[in-house]
Amino acid sequence: MKLDKTSGSAADTQGATAGQYAVKSASKLLWTLLAMGLIVVYCIAPLIRPHVSIGDTHDDLQAIGCDWALVLVLALVGLVAQKRRARFFGLRAPSWRDFVAMLGVFVVTAVVVIFVTQLPVVQMTISKIRAPNLIAAPFDVRLGLVLSAAICEEFTFRGFVIEQVREWSGSLPVGAGLSLILFVLPHAWLYGFTAALLVPAVLGASLTLLYLWRRNLPVCMVMHAAVDGYSLLLVPALMRAHGG
């Protein structure tokens, strides 16, 4: 009789544990779905808003605010509601190997981007993008755009989307593919749905591969900042110096 009671108690404990695990899993999935819905809204919002332009201080500050607001919500979801560790999202101290890997990916990406931008169909679209406002924009605003994009977009698309979808779907490629699509989509407000979207697509693919390779988000942020710093800080400075 004692054995039966012990067995029954063990079965009850296992059942309660399984039930608690199921509830926790369902809760995490619900938070993931809500967060992914918010990310989708964030990605399509630029496509349905009135015309905005890089270089307009009001639009730039609004974009920076939206980036950080989204990251704050995602961080609360991941770190507080789902009780995940920062390492789950690739937030860990980088090693020298991570930086070497980043340098290699950066060089390859630069070569590919140069090749892509020389394609006539891409040049035709890029030439229509107006730059005077960008040159006139305050340096601190442009610096804010660089840092905001590097930190917020990498946390959102690489750290959050890839890892959450991987856990939910059980497939890392699915997470990486969805991450890349969501990353490229908002860039359509600038390039349109044209061949010029190959430029952010190449950058997004490179950052995704770097993250999958090293699973380190800070080095992805550094590479993203370097790329955007070239286009938003160095190029305008050179154009201003040459009276462009």
> How does pLDDT run across 73-91, given as a tens digit for each residue?
999 999 999 999 999 999 9
| Per-residue pLDDT tens digits for 125-151 | 776 665 556 667 789 999 999 999 999
Write down the pLDDT at residue 50.
54
Separation CA 115–CA 124 (nearest Å) = 14
pLDDT of amino acid 125 = 77
Higher pLDDT: 58 or 178? It is 178
Measuring CA to CA, which residue among 7, 175, 191 is closest to residue 90?
175
Among 37-46, 121-130, 155-164, 192-201, the least confident range: 121-130
Residue 69: band (very low, low, confident or very high) from pLDDT cuts 50, 70, 90: very high
Residue 53 has pLDDT above 70, yes or no: no
203 has pLDDT over 70: yes
pTM of the predicted protein model: 0.88
pLDDT over 80 (residue 186):
yes
- The reported pLDDT for the residue numbered 23 is 82
Confidence band of 15 (pLDDT split at 50, 70, 90): low
CA angle in degrees (0–180, nearest 5) for 56-225-210:
135
How far apart, in Å, do the first and last CA atoms of the chain sit? Answer: 91
User: In one letter, which amino acid is 140?
Assistant: D
Q: Which position has the token pair 């005077």?
A: 132
Using pLDDT thresholds of 50, 70 and 90, give the confidence band for residue 181: very high
Exposure b/e, 200-237, CB count within 10 A at least 16 = b: bbbbbbbbbbbbbebbbbbbbbbbbbbbbbeebbeebe
Q: Can you give the pLDDT at residue 99?
A: 98
Tell me how far apart the alpha carbons of residues 72 and 59 are, in angstroms, rounded to a whole number. 20
